[in-house]
Structure 1
Amino acid sequence: MGEQLRPVRLEGPGGLGGHGQEPFGVLPHMAQWVESRRGWMLIDFPVDSGLAFLSAVANAGPRDAFYARMTHWAAPGPWDVTIKPMDAAMFREDLPSRFRLQLVQVSFPASDLADWSTFGG
């Protein structure tokens, strides 16, 4: 993949929170959202690394149904790519609010991982 990618978090098909742990004790309001993402992979990247990841995956294979799911929101089973801004004052109340782009979250069906094995060959 050429550039060094630095994922922040990877959540797998075992459930968000990883390894079968359920985060509902701390965030019970998230239970419905977490359940809706069963069978999905979620990867958080710093913005530049997330864009490099998407470019690398898109360039690794043909422009087929997998590519359409990855790049087009209206394709069947589309990937969800979200850029998350973060307020510098979120953890420091003494600072004024100052937002910056912090994170790219890439979410996709775990079944798409099988398609990656066909790339490059």
Structure 2
Amino acid sequence: MTAGSPAGEPPSRGKRADAQRNRRTVLDVLFGIGSLSMIWSAAPAGGRAAATGLAALMWALASMFAQRGLTLRPVVHNHPPQYQFNPALHLHATIPAPTPAGDDLGPDNVHPLQR
């Protein structure tokens, strides 16, 4: 928080940014009202309320994301890591004992297929 900002509110980005955000909000609300009025006038009388209500719900959902300001910028963390990373690979392998010379038949548990 900056000096002078009430508790719980984010610090202001300046008068110009606040005015631009307010202008976008007003234009977004006007666009939504216009869209809903067009849906109301174009929908048949039996489903007019349902169509307008569904459109208002979808508009409110889309408006929340739009007012939040979606961005594709990556989040950059400028603080150093709090841990030490040591990339080390420890392999524990056993080497089989060499077979004596002349034992070329393979292991004892292998049997040929019988028909």
* The two structures share one fold, judged by TM-score above 0.5: no
Structure having the higher strand fraction is 1
TM-score computed with the length of structure 1 as normaliser: 0.23
- Structure index of larger Rg: 2
- Larger RCO: 1 or 2 (CA < 8 Å, sep 6+): 1
